[in-house]
Amino acid sequence: MNSIPSNYGRSKKLGDKNDLRIKAIENGTVIDHIKPGQALNVLHILGVNDNFTNTVSIVMNTDGERGGKDVIKIEGRELTEKEVETIALLSPKATVNIIRDFEVVSKRKIGTPDSICGIVKCVNPNCITNSCEPIETRFAVTENEKTKTLSLRCVFCESVMTTEVFKYLL
């Protein structure tokens, strides 16, 4: 009978059973500092569903240096710029780390974009972007410093979205 080493799955630094680790990935992306509770929405943005075959690790509502956070690791996949911009709408303080040969080759704080195009559908059914015209949606993005919430203003009809942006992703 094989026995499991006493430190299996534990942090080498602390050795505490409450400090379990997720296996490092060889190549792929780590999205860190996701707003707590948003990891599943981020997976939806990335098209991770029951047909997705790459290894995905998720930690939700864990403690971090800056408070609570979610973390996602995706083996064998690097994000597109459009995916990063979309994640910024849900979690503008997130970071995206590109991993190659077990090393971080790029680390980027996402930040709040000034504008977004072709990511969100306008809430106004009469907006020209919701007609038969081939016009890509475009929104100016502002962040309320006090409440830390984002507002999107359609540049065509001036409609403003402040909550549940996720429901209107294209």
- The secondary structure of the chain as a DSSP string is -----TTTTB-TTT--TT-B-PPP-SSEEEEEEEPTT-HHHHHHHTT-STT--S-EEEEEEEEETTEEEEEEEEET----HHHHHHHHHH-TT-EEEEEETTEEEEEEE----SEEESSB--S-TTSGGGSSS----EEEEEEETTTTEEEEEETTT--EE-S-GGGGB-
- CATH code of domain 115-168: 2.30.30.20
Whole-model pTM?
0.77
Domains 28-109 and 115-168 alike in fold = no
List, for residues 77-117, the tens digit of each pLDDT value. 999 998 998 899 888 889 999 999 999 999 999 988 899 99
Q: Where are the domains of the chain?
A: 28-109, 115-168
Is a pLDDT exceeding 50 seen at residue 133?
A: yes
What's the fold here for domain 28-109? Alpha-Beta Plaits (3.30.70)
State the average pLDDT over residues 130-159: 89
State the average pLDDT over residues 64-89: 89
Q: What pLDDT is recorded for position 169?
A: 78
State the average pLDDT over residues 56-71: 86
